[in-house]
């Protein structure tokens, strides 16, 4: 009887040279403990590619993970963090502290005590107080824009300099901080630079006007708060030569002029964005935003012309006389202007 031939011998299924043809998850075939070994965890399953390029869903790798955010719910460059994203930065706290200190020294008129008896004194602390106070005011103006933009849908500024009131960390520091200081020094009236950081395409059209008006509204609130403070310190029927009170009155004037000028529908000013929100998207709107800096400088140049400046400043003084119960408030503002431009005294 013939002997049956033995069955062909099969290779072991776990032979290392035998290619796997199953469709199981390749991450499950990695050696045990591989994820705890840096030299293996850095590589993807089977191909030798880095894990972030191989992209296992849910593991934070690959283009899909990049498109879906940074793992913390943010998208398109948005930042996400805790409550510190909305707290004032140490730089702002320092500037605010220096402003208060300069105001206290101005209140005490310490420069009169420092100068030898019988000599004329050119006070330098009141101009420093006004300058620092104006930088703080500009930071609050830009913060109002950034907060309104954040609430309207543009979350890209979360944790950034604008929402943390850091005037020296602005993406466009020249337009946001340097330019308003130059306007103050040359023109002695308040005018902010263009809010170039706002990503208008991320904000629904119906909310853009709110974002644009947030800055002038913040400046108007600051002006009202400072004016009321001066009226409390100097009741109606009284007059003062106190340097700090004059500086506060002039800061109220600066914030009021900033709020009013920014309502003009000119590229580079907030009023233009209110107008753009009511118009259909056109190329000229984008072109105007690109050249917003020139529009802001042009408006300042027109208002700086002596005849127009006298009319403009006179109109603001008239407004103060109308709304303020203190008839001496105008004189206090004028004293603050003289303290700022001490070289003209």
Of 78, 142, 273, 337, the catalytic one is 142
Degrees to nearest 5, angle at CA 253 with 248 and 258 = 125
Q: How many helices (H) and strands (E) does the chain have?
A: 15, 0
Which tokens hold the place of 15?
């032979």
DSSP assignment of 216-260 equals: HHHHHHHHHHHHHHHHHHS-TT-----HHHHHHHHHHHHHHHHHH
Across 1-10, b (16+ Cβ under 10 Å) vs e yields eeeeeeeeee
Q: What are phi and psi of 216, to 5 degrees?
A: -60, -35
Contact 308, 222 (CB under 8 A): no
Q: Which long-range contacts (CB under 8 A, 24 or more apart) does 49-57 make?
A: 56/27
297/294 Cα distance (integer angstroms) = 5
Number of neighbouring beta carbons within 10 Å of residue 180:
25
Q: Is 142 part of the annotated catalytic residue set? A: yes
Which residues are identified as catalytic? 142
């Amino acid at each position: 009887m013939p002997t049956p031939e033995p069955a062909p011998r099969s290779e072991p299924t776990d032979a290392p040279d035998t290619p796997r043809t199953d469709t199981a998850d390749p991450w499950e075939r990695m050696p045990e403990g591989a994820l705890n070994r840096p030299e293996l965890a850095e590589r993807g399953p089977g191909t030798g590619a880095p894990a972030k390029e191989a992209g296992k869903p849910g593991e934070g790798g690959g283009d899909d993970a990049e498109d879906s955010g940074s793992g913390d719910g943010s998208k398109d460059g948005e930042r996400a963090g805790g409550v510190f994203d909305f707290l004032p930065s140490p730089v702002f706290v320092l500037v605010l502290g220096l402003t208060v200190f300069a105001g206290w020294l101005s209140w005490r008129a310490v420069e009169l005590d420092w100068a030898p008896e019988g000599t004329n004194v050119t006070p330098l602390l009141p101009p420093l107080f006004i300058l620092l106070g104006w930088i703080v005011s500009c930071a609050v103006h830009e913060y109002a824009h950034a907060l309104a933009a954040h609430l309207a849908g543009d979350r890209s500024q979360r944790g950034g300099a604008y929402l943390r009131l850091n005037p020296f960390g602005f993406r466009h520091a020249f337009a946001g901080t340097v330019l308003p200081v130059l306007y103050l020094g040359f023109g002695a009236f308040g005018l902010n630079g263009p809010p170039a950081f706002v990503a208008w395409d991320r904000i629904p059209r119906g909310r853009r006007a709110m974002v644009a008006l947030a800055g002038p509204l913040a400046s108007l609130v600051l002006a009202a708060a400072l004016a009321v403070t001066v009226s409390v310190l100097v009741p109606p029927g009284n007059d003062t030569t106190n340097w700090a009170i004059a500086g506060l009155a002039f800061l109220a004037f600066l914030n009021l002029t900033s709020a009013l000028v920014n309502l003009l529908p000119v590229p580079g000013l907030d009023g233009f964005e209110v107008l753009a929100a009511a118009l259909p998207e056109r190329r000229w709107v984008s072109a105007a935003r690109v050249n917003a800096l020139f529009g802001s400088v042009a408006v300042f140049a027109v208002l700086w012309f002596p005849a127009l400046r006298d009319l403009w400043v006179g109109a603001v003084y008239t407004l103060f006389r109308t709304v303020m119960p203190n008839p001496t408030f105008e004189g206090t503002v004028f004293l603050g202007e003289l303290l700022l431009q001490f070289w003209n005294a």
